[in-house]
A = this chain, B = another copy of it.
Amino acid sequence: MKVVKRNGDLEDYNPEKVVKSLKNSGVSESTINKILQTIKDKRFDSISTDKLYKIVYQLVKKLENKYNASIYSLKQAIMRLGPDGYTFEDYIAKIFAGEGFKVKTRQVYESNCITHELDVVGDDFFVECKYHNSGGITSGIKDVMYSHARFLDLKDACKNKGYHFRKLWVATNTKFSDECIDYGKYWGLKLMSWKYDGKNSLSYIIDTKHYFPVTLLPSVGREVFSLLSRKNILLITEVRDKSDEELKSIGLSADEVAKLRTDCDNIIEAAKKIEKINGGKK
């Protein structure tokens, strides 16, 4: 059986990959075996990885439960942090803050010649965020080199301007092209994509540190998300830590709050279980 990747390449279907992502999402062994058997029985040929993902997602929802299906769909949940890129910037800022950095979003800095608005700024670094609201879009070398030029322009002005940048991060929710990786390594840039770079990758950090976005909650549709994001409530833990009154005050109904509450508890519960099972294996 062959699968068609987003770039059009054909590749052998690799059940190991499916097993790994299902295990990471806390799906039980018996469900995993059932899913593998279903895929085998249906003898898909040249199925797109997108389609295969959707089929597996539906099976997890049906055979396991909707919370593990949500965790399985983390990548898609990040894509729902759109449609523009601001929310992704805020989300990345929350991850850096969670990791102990003092950060601000969308700060204006003058170089010796022009003005730059930077997405996420820490004490001695800044993060350029490249958000794509659909998969298969690779962040290309132009983005990375433009960010690098901004970094060099600001570094050049550090002495005069009273700020100090030592590091540049470029963060994307999809992937970087190979030349981005080569360029980043050579010039000492920190690149963070969905899968790159190992323990610094977005998927690894979110999975292990539970920076789950609210878009992972089954009860968070477009409207509820809009109310939450307007108040910069983007993490499931932030929803958990708000009182019912606070949540109602942003425009949510009692029913919506109750559903949010249940969803939050269940996702956090599911995540804890996954941690217990997979702990130390990553």
Binding site for B on A (CB under 8 A): 112-115, 141-142, 145-146, 148-150, 152-153, 179, 182-183, 185-187
Contacts and interface: CB of A to CB of B under 8 A. Distances in A.
Contacts of A186: 112-114
The 3 A-B pairs of least Cβ separation, nearest first, read: A113-B186, A145-B149, A149-B149
A179 B183 CA distance: 26
A222 B150 CA distance: 41
Most chain B beta carbons < 10 A, residue from A112, A115, A142, A150: A142
Contacts of A183: 113-114, 153
A142 B153 contact: no
A146 B142 contact: yes
A175 to B, nearest CB: 17
A113 B187 contact: yes
Contacts of A146: 142, 145-146, 149
A264 to B, nearest CB: 40
Contact of A185 (B113, B142, B187): B113
A150 B113 CA distance: 19
22 contacts: A112-B186, A113-B182, A113-B183, A113-B185, A113-B186, A113-B187, A114-B141, A114-B179, A114-B183, A115-B179, A142-B146, A145-B145, A145-B149, A145-B150, A145-B153, A146-B146, A146-B149, A148-B149, A149-B149, A149-B152, A153-B183, A153-B187
Nearest to A145: B149
